[in-house]
Structure 1
Amino acid sequence: MNKKYSFTLTSESEQYCDMIVEEMERLFRISKKEAIGRVNQKWSACNFNDESLLFHMLPEEWANEIYYGSNSMWWKKDKQLLRPMPFREK
């Protein structure tokens, strides 16, 4: 485990998570702290030693998935229907 993320990562998967965080900051104009918190909220029980689970989507896709949720159909890009997933800062 590392200090930034609350789940197990390899160095390569940690870099990938950093890219997801950067995309969330860029796309949604949220702070780095909130983006990291949202990633941790999504994957707190995960173990990304098997990187195939993480790398099957692009960082921008993961950013949308994490921010809007799995059932949001964010890929349709109808911003009027999209609402961010609730986030509670710890």
Structure 2
Amino acid sequence: MAKARAMRQWGGLCDMTPDSSPILGPTGVDGFGVIAGMGTWGFKGAPIFGATMAEYVATGKIPPLIAPFGLGRFREDRMVPDAASAGTH
């Protein structure tokens, strides 16, 4: 290891919600939806998050797959109890 050298490094923020799960869906502002709070899910989940949000935009109906991840869960105290899957704890 004494001769090893770093070839790359990365630094950045890991945006996390209180329950370590993303926020997906409408915000209460007409025409404004959100995909945020991905933490370590972003790269892995991007394809399905994009597809389900596109379905929401096209139909105006929240797909069942993303319904538990709505912004209202914080106001209604319906946290998604899956902190371990975020891989940051």
TM-score under structure 1 normalisation? 0.29
Larger radius of gyration: 2
TM-score when normalising by structure 2: 0.29
Q: Counting helix residues as a fraction of each chain, which structure ranks higher?
A: 1
